Amino acid sequence: MLKNEEFIQEFIEEAGSHIEQIESHLLELAGDVTDQELINQLFRSVHSIKGTAGFFGLDNIVNLSHSMESLFGAVRSGGVYLDDLSIDALLEANDCLGIMVKDPAKSHEIDISHYTHNLDTILSEDTKKVEGDSVGTSHEPPSPQDHIQPAGGNIPTVLVEDSIRVSIGLLNDLLNLTGELVLGRNQLLRGLEGHRKHVEGLDPVLQNIDSITTQLQERVMQTRMQPLGNVFNKFPRIIRELSRQLKKEIRLEMEGTQVELDKSIIESLADPLTHLIRNAADHGIEKPGQREDTGKSREGLITIKASQEGGYVSILVADDGAGIDVNFLKNEILKKGLRTQEELSLMEEKEILGQILLPGFSTAGSVTDVSGRGVGMDVVRTNIERMGGTIEIDSQAGRGTTFKLNLPMTLAIISSLIVESGGQNFALPQVNLQEMIRVKEGDKDRSIEIINGFPVLHFRHKLLPILSLSQVLDLPEDLPQPGKEDNHRTIRILVLKMGERRFGLAVDAIRDDEEILVKPLPRHLKDLKCYSGVTILGDGKIAMILDAEGLASQGELKFPEAGSDPKKKQDIKQAATGDRTMLLFSCSGAETLGLELSLVSRVEEIKHDDIELIGEREYIEFRGRSLELIRPEEHLPISRNEYKDQRLYVIIPKVTGPPVGLLIGKIHDSVSLSWDFNRQDIKAHGIMGTTFWNSRTVLALDLPELLQKAAPEDYGAGDSDTMGSGAGRGGRY
Amino acid sequence: MERILTFYLEGELFGIDVGLVKEINRKIKYTQVPGAPGHIVGLYNMRGQVVTIFDIACILHNRESHIPQGPTCIILKNDNSGSEHLGFIVDRPGDVLDVRDEWRQPLPENVEHEYGQYIKEIVRLEDELAAVIDIDRMFGK
């Protein structure tokens, strides 16, 4: 029996690959149902499963594969013509077969009658029309002959493939050992460098070892490489089903299926790619009618294109659908409170698109069966980044959306840059590196300034936030070297990219490019987010591999200023020199009010009808809770009118007490204004003073005082001393 | 009968089950890991294997580690949980001893909890006591 189990394991693996083949062949067959070679292959695959299953007495598998085989037999002899529905029935049956094959011990529990019935119906209906079936189809249960089939029936495939199965564990061991061999070779060459000429015959031996080791490493890496086709294979089926489900016409084009990647990357790619393709089909491609209205062909096109660039593979997933409407996206971002108006106004289009990769984002206008069910793009991003890859988005409204994935070819060995800070070496993966900048003190084109307490580099008319590696990691600062004049100090900055975001990492020195063998972080260091792994450098020392994302979060880096144009830069400069950014809005009257943006948690758009009256107070529902509304005009010396517009806004300020909302009618802008208020003009509770914007008077709200008046029970007068009118930032705020 | 390897740490004598020890390395060169917990000294390259080196004096007395380069280190056998190697710094290794049952003593009641939870038992040797370390507790299963 024990031996039997070993064979069963082999059967599971072998039958599994047959089932994958059957699926892809069936889908090919849908394009050309007369392709004899395909039908022959299908027949052989099913037959081989049937044979081995018969040997183990797996009756359900035998019966279902028998039904399929009979149908293929009839097709082969021209007795049956396969239409779309028949192919669907075969695909379904193949899926069921796949389930049974995965766990043969439980295969007898599965009800296959539905599938065999469908297949038999196709067979009998068609054979009635055509006479003389029988060639290649035997309705008898498998004969004893079949029992020998696993060996006999498989000979062609075995000969063609010319391969053996090796366990992944063994391959991984080989990979690791080879990696060590490479390092050993490096050490050997370094150590014997001085003796090459003195010891006779040493030089050719060393050269030989060098070259053999390199070749060995390449070959071992290849053993783990698999073609992308292994993942792409399942997409035709997905698109076929999606187009039916969504009632859209979609064509799928695939390029570069032969491009190879490390097995582990191939495996982790399946989910993210499937997600992107479902997204493209569901949200990207429009309904046929809609497409015709906009002058496109009825049929939507989804393209998957893989290509190799150096040590990286790039995969494009593109659709020619509706594209992403940046303005719609902006609204969504504001609504969800992921970014503020002001932050958005400073972003470039590409960065705004990048926002859909953030957690908690789903662009789905409505949740459909296919996507928008909470498995968001952030999961795709996380998966890709975990493999050391990056993802970029490009979209044009009306023209389509393209996602570009960049992946390292192998997980184990990556090219990296060795940098030094605080006297220690670190490895930085090249995939994160965009460029290196040297900043000399006094250089006008590239100057480092402190804005809002963060160092920022002016570079190519952009502002790049800067982190110092020594500071993030709390390393001893580099001591000024004797002999060098300090005012000519050069700072080396690596520009790192994470998706659309960029930041600069200042390091003490840049050492070398090195191909490194990535080892996982030891268990006790898993919590350190600044590192993605460990490696052993050529000199035998261990170096930590830096994680760009982790460094940014450890350094509490914020990206609002990234990519602003000179005019916006001006705004930031003002913000840095004592001005404040204010959100300008109006209530029901004509006055313009201002509230410091840093006090605003979020702004919600609501409908007038959403407001509920409970007692004398007004509420709206917000995130499943009721939020009390305050109408500022009722507590301030400003004019009051009825709201005519259905659309209103609620400002939710940052407060430590129970959340409240300020009901307002219109948002004008968020601008940087002088904080130098004229406090003489208006002396009223709730108003701090006045300032000017576009020759209009702006009344600056004193939030603590307003809340004190509007909701004394929660924001009572007892705190008035501390909350006072101190620029709204004292006390509990 | 159990065999233990004794070692000295800050003047105190400790012991561990010799069956858990892979090797003792002297004058090791390690790489510090910025941001790592205080009781982790760094990572050491043992013939291509990455070994996480601990300062167990820190764990026992709950303080930060200050180990100069080149210490002596006991490296433990790979527990079957994976390819992880662990090691810890000692002042100097002692002997390998067969422990007789009559040498064993319970832990005195007045030891601090911080310390006591990592000690399996006390063994009375000829003229001194050795605290036998509970490796599973110390490094977390």
Higher pLDDT, A361 or A450: A450
Count of all residues that appear for chain B in the document: 141
- Cβ-Cβ pairs closer than 8 A, A with B, add up to 61
CA nearest A543 in B: which residue?
B31
- Residue A454 CA to residue A464 CA, distance in Å, equals 10
Q: Using CB atoms, which residue from B32, B47, B86 is nearest to A424?
A: B32
**A256 closest CA partner among A243, A239, A273:** A273
Q: Is B57 helix (H, G, I), strand (E, B) or coil?
A: helix
Q: Where are the alpha helices (DSSP H) in A621-719?
A: 703-710
**A705 closest CA partner among A687, A731, A722:** A687
- Residue A18 CA to residue A361 CA, distance in Å, equals 39
Q: What's the pLDDT band for B6 if we cut at 50, 70, 90?
A: very high
Give me the mean pLDDT over the A490-505 stretch.
84
Q: What are phi and psi of A452, to 5 degrees?
A: 50, 35
Residues near A716 by beta carbon (within 8 Å), at least 6 away in sequence: A708
Paired tokens of A274:
């499937």
**A721 closest CA partner among A703, A707, A705:** A705
B interface test, pick of A524, A526, A534 with most B CB neighbours within 10 Å: A524
Higher pLDDT, B93 or A727: B93
Looking at beta carbons, which pairs linking A64-67 to residues 24 or more positions away fall under 8 Å?
Answer: A64/A93, A64/A96, A64/A97, A64/A100, A64/A112, A64/A115, A64/A116, A65/A97, A66/A141, A66/A142, A67/A93, A67/A115, A67/A116, A67/A119, A67/A120, A67/A123
**A399 closest CA partner among A296, A251, A500:** A296
Q: Using CB atoms, which residue from A424, A475, A523 is nearest to B84?
A: A523
Q: Does residue A480 come out as left (phi exceeding 0), alpha (psi in the -120 to 50 range) or beta?
A: beta
Whether A710 has a pLDDT exceeding 50, the answer reads yes
- Residue A285 CA to residue A277 CA, distance in Å, equals 11
**B52 closest CA partner among B22, B90, B88, B7:** B88
Paired tokens of A187:
């050490």
Helices A377-386 and A263-279 meet at what angle, rounded to 10? 160
Q: DSSP state, A713? A: T
A interface with B, Cβ–Cβ below 8 Å: 179-180, 183-184, 422, 424, 473-475, 519, 522-525, 528, 530-531, 534, 536, 540-544, 554
Q: pLDDT digit string (tens) for A242-289?
A: 888 888 899 999 998 888 888 878 888 888 898 899 888 888 888 898
Q: What's the pLDDT band for A406 if we cut at 50, 70, 90?
A: confident
pLDDT for A252 equals: 92
pLDDT for A601 equals: 78
Compute CA distances A67 → A63, A98, A155, A577, B120, whole Å: 6, 15, 23, 80, 66
Cβ contact (<8 Å) for B37 and A524?
yes
**A551 closest CA partner among A484, A603, A501, A612:** A501
pLDDT for A374 equals: 41
Q: Of all residues in chain A, what percent carry a pLDDT higher than 90?
A: 7
Which amino acid would we find at residue A320?
A: D
- Residue A637 CA to residue A699 CA, distance in Å, equals 11
Residue-by-residue DSSP string for A378-444: HHHHHHHHHTT-EEEEEEETTTEEEEEEEEES-SSEEEEEEEEETTEEEEEEGGGEEEEEEEETT-S
Q: pLDDT digit string (tens) for A577-613?
A: 445 678 888 888 888 888 887 778 788 888 888 888 8
Q: Is A281 helix (H, G, I), strand (E, B) or coil?
A: helix
Q: Which residues of B touch A424 (CB under 8 A)?
A: 31-32, 34
Paired tokens of A8:
């069963």
Q: How far does B34 lie from chain A, in Å, by closest CA?
A: 6
Q: What are phi and psi of B37, to 5 degrees?
A: -55, 150
Residues near A206 by beta carbon (within 8 Å), at least 6 away in sequence: A188, A189, A192, A196
A interface test, pick of B28, B45, B64, B78 with most A CB neighbours within 10 Å: B45
Residue-by-residue DSSP string for A480-502: PPTTS-GGG-EEEEEEEEETTEE
Cβ contact (<8 Å) for A540 and B45?
yes
Q: How far does B87 lie from chain A, in Å, by closest CA?
A: 12
Distance from CA of residue B111 to its chain's centroid?
A: 18
Cβ contact (<8 Å) for A525 and B36?
yes
Distance from CA of residue A679 to its chain's centroid?
A: 51
Give me the mean pLDDT over the B115-132 stretch.
85
Q: What are phi and psi of A213, to 5 degrees?
A: -60, -45
Whether A526 has a pLDDT exceeding 60, the answer reads yes
Q: Using CB atoms, which residue from A473, A534, A543 is nearest to B35?
A: A473
CA nearest B33 in A: which residue?
A544
B 10-29 near A (Cβ less than 8 A): 29
CA nearest A177 in B: which residue?
B48
Strand order in the sheet with A462-468: A433-440, A490-498, A501-507, A462-468, A454-459, A447-451
**A125 closest CA partner among A83, A97, A95, A66:** A83
Q: How far does A533 lie from chain B, in Å, by closest CA?
A: 11
Residues near A125 by beta carbon (within 8 Å), at least 6 away in sequence: none
Whether the predicted interface score ipTM is above 0.85: yes
pLDDT for A482 equals: 44
CA nearest A519 in B: which residue?
B50
Which amino acid would we find at residue A621?
A: E
For strands A462-468 and A454-459, give the pairing.
antiparallel
Helices A263-279 and A235-246 meet at what angle, rounded to 10? 20
pLDDT for A316 equals: 93
Cβ contact (<8 Å) for B34 and A542?
no
Q: Of all residues in chain A, what percent carry a pLDDT higher than 70?
A: 80
pLDDT for A317 equals: 93
Map A125-177 to HEC letters.
Answer: HHHHHCCCCCCCCCCCCCCHHHHCHHHHCCHHHHHHHCCCCCCHHHHHHHHHH
Q: How far does A520 lie from chain B, in Å, by closest CA?
A: 10
Q: Using CB atoms, which residue from B34, B36, B50 is nearest to A542?
A: B50
